[in-house]
């Protein structure tokens, strides 16, 4: 659960998150939690698609599911 990470304070040097934050129940809580677990001055990168695009892509074939 991204809104409550099981990690100590200030342990990560870098965070990269790709896809999915828009599906979380509480995006603000998730971002606060990232800030809680990263070291001061750490950079973090979030990339995400819109919910509409994600739903459209759900219909694409996936390896192993053809």
- As a whole number of Å, the end-to-end CA separation of the chain is 30
Backbone angles phi, psi at 45, to 5 degrees: -120, 130
- DSSP-derived letter for residue 11 is -
CA distance 59 to 66: 11
Q: Where are the domains of the chain?
A: 12-52
Q: What is the pTM of this model?
A: 0.57
CA 19, 23, 33: angle at the middle one, nearest 5? Answer: 80
- Output the tens digit of pLDDT for each of the chain's 66 residues: 555 665 667 778 888 888 778 778 888 888 888 888 888 888 888 887 777 777 777 777 765 544
CA dihedral 38, 41, 47, 50 (to 10 degrees): 90
């Amino acid at each position: 659960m991204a809104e409550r990470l099981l990690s100590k304070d200030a342990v990560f040097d870098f965070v990269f998150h790709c896809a999915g934050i828009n599906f979380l129940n509480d995006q603000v809580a998730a971002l606060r939690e990232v800030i809680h677990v990263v070291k001061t001055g750490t950079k973090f990168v979030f990339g995400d698609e819109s919910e509409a695009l994600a739903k459209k892509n759900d219909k694409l074939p996936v390896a192993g599911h053809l």
